[in-house]
Structure 1
Amino acid sequence: MTIRILLVDDNELVRAGLRAVLDAQPDFEVVGEADDGAGVLALVRSLRPDVVAMDVRMPRVDGIQATRDLLAHLDQPPKILIVTTFENDEYVYEALRVGAHGFLLKRARPAEITDAVRTLATGDSLLFPAKLRALAERFGKTARSDAVARAKLTDREADVLRAMARGLNNAEIAAELYLGTETVKSHVSALLAKLSARDRTQAVIAAYESGFVAPG
């Protein structure tokens, strides 16, 4: 399977560097580029990428608004990877809260970049759980919610959510909880629906902001 990728960054050198890293992989194809978030929706509709690697800070339409646009107007949006200069950035946390699937530092090593894209494309594990935990500890305190309490998760769904927050994938959760992988997938789907979360990242953010999982 070839993973199709769209690059969105106002810095041409950054786009060129990412393209060089990604195009070197036999299972990746960079299908297009944009220098601002304003045209991302139209490009995604025409190019149908699996992953959008997008800068969070751009001069006209930033990565947060572009993420909102993609999720609001597409029934099957691509996975959105925020690419940022600053790790502990409130903009990054807000992009994740509105629906981006993960984030990556621009100074990341080539192997980290390719691993991040593959992780998002498969969608069965959390990208950089420790970094997400650090962001939640810094910025999640002002966004408290009762999402988990309202969701009324079963005990098993709660166990799965805790494991997800630690970054375990479906196979690892299955081994830890002595469940079948398909059973874990069913629990993940159920808890995402109950939390009104699009993906694992949003579910884990809800868990932190509800106090269900404690940062740190």
Structure 2
Amino acid sequence: MTVNIVIADNVDLALEGMKTVLRQHGAFQVVGTYQMLSDMLNVLGDVRPDVILLGDRLEPDLDVLALVDQVQAAAPRARILILSYLSDGLIVQELFTVGAMGYLYKNDPLSHYLVEAIQTVMRGRPYLSPTANSEYLLAMQSDRAGWQLDAEAREILRQLAQGLRPQEIALLRAVPVRRVYGVCERLRRRFGAETNIQLIALAAEEGFLP
């Protein structure tokens, strides 16, 4: 069976390198390469890929979780493999929650792991390249792994990063301000931050913000 693959990354070299690796495998067919999210979303319904190799910085204004949300909505049956230079285990956990099936750390030799990753997710199993897997296991053993970010927490985190105060966020969301404060407190615990400013910095560093 031929596996139809779409590659989307904002780096030319990454696109060409992955195409070169995949062309050596007879069961894989690259049906599209894209450097812009909008271009890819416009054709996903037509090309119907089995696997999407998705660079986490494809859309500068979106964090990788929001990026996966949009791609999955356009191609709900595709297996999504994230490609990233970040290896933080917490973001891997959240990506699995929103529907990604794999995570390839770009500093791991993709020429060795790319084919294995595609074969694994096509069998319906999640895949992590070695560095991502090590970071994920460490994160799951920490006391920060208990609470997963829901849609409300992700949106409040984005609004904090935009410079809004909890009172302003509560007004925009039409919720009690104590609810926003409660979410902020859980977010600070999750990221090991003492202040909202530190929370934003850590969340951006770990890939939760664009």
1:78 aligns with 2:78: yes
**Quick one: structure 1 residues 140 and 42, their matched pair in 2 at CA, closer, same or farther if it must change by over 3 Å?**
farther
Check whether the contact 1:6–1:51 (CA below 8 A) recurs between aligned residues.
Answer: yes
User: Could you tell me how far apart the structure 2 residues matched to 1:49 and 1:106 are?
Assistant: 22
2:16 aligned partner, one-letter code: A
User: Partner residue of 1:213?
Assistant: none
TM-score (norm 1): 0.57
User: Partner residue of 1:140?
Assistant: 145
User: Could you tell me how far apart the structure 2 residues matched to 1:34 and 1:134 are?
Assistant: 33
SS in 2 for 1:118: helix
User: Could you tell me how far apart the structure 2 residues matched to 1:52 and 1:39 are?
Assistant: 14
TM-score (norm 2): 0.59
Displacement of 1:62 = 4.8
**Quick one: structure 1 residues 16 and 62, their matched pair in 2 at CA, closer, same or farther if it must change by over 3 Å?**
farther
Alignment: residue pair count: 144
User: Partner residue of 1:12?
Assistant: 12
User: Partner residue of 1:103?
Assistant: 103
User: Partner residue of 1:196?
Assistant: none
Structure 2: where are the runs of 5+ without partners?
151-210
Check whether the contact 1:84–1:92 (CA below 8 A) recurs between aligned residues.
Answer: no
SS in 2 for 1:143: coil
1:52 aligns with 2:57: no
Identity, in percent, stands at 24
User: Could you tell me how far apart the structure 2 residues matched to 1:100 and 1:136 are?
Assistant: 17
**Quick one: structure 1 residues 31 and 144, their matched pair in 2 at CA, closer, same or farther if it must change by over 3 Å?**
closer
SS in 1 for 2:126: coil
Displacement of 1:90 = 4.7
Aligned residue runs from structure 1 range 1-216, under 5 A: 1-58=1-58, 59-74=60-75, 76-88=76-88, 90-109=90-109, 110-123=111-124, 125-128=125-128, 130-131=133-134, 132-137=136-141, 140-143=145-148
